[in-house]
Amino acid sequence: MALRLGDSAPDFTQQSSEGEINFHQWLGNSWGILFSHPADFTPVCTTELGLTAKLKNEFEKRNTKAIALSVDDADSHQRWIGDINDTQGCAVNFPIIADADRKVSELYDMIHPNADSSLTVRSLFIIDPNKKIRLIITYPASTGRNFDEVLRVLDSLQLTDQHKVATPGNWQAGDDVVIVPSLQDEDEIKQRFPSGYKALKPYLRMTKDPSKS
């Protein structure tokens, strides 16, 4: 059965480019990004892994760990990492799961038979410190991911977990946010949002990013 938002992220123990990993233990109290690749030595994946390595500082600011997956073995991953570092001007600084037996791919429904019967599609999961799945994005193998969007969603999730707000379309960190409709108590609203708010409609109330106040 396919995973859905709010489900517990399945735990697993599997070999990787950095040795054996128990997923939940490896995550600890961090947020996690688990993302799959069709195979090693593929061009789009090479660019994606390079981008991920270069975003290490950005992920660390957000208490987030990245971990990739490919259906090839750990030795193949090590050879591929050399190519990634060479062509992308980076140093891969996160593990790549060696899922030759498809165990993790099947746990996370990363193989879509109508797209390819054996290789994973470009699945990406954001997992919170409680090991709950908070985002699922699936791209076709031919389309590289937008990692600016991954960071944007992380910012939104972490902000909305802390404050009674939602983020509007095309929101970027620091932009105005929406007060959730369930919050109706004016005293609580004044306490939470001392800068006030603008009611465009009774259900659409905009306020400044409360994390910046």
Closest C-alpha among 148, 191, 199, 155 to residue 174? 155
Strand ranges in 38-132 using DSSP code E only, listed in sequence order: 64-70, 96-98, 122-127
- For residue 204, give the H/E element and its range: strand 204-207
> Do the beta carbons of residue 35 and residue 94 sit within 8 Å?
no
- For residue 133, give the H/E element and its range: strand 133-139
106 CA to centre of own chain: 19
Between the CA of residue 4 and those of 66, 131, 145, 184, 199, what are the distances in Å? 20, 13, 20, 30, 33
Mark whether 45 is an active-site residue.
yes
Reading the block at residue 48, the tokens are 């994606």
Residue type, 106: E
Closest C-alpha among 133, 130, 123, 144 to residue 48? 144
Cα(73)–Cα(82) distance, rounded to whole angstroms? 15
Q: Which residue of the set 45, 90, 121, 165 is catalytic?
A: 45
- Residues marked as catalytic: 45
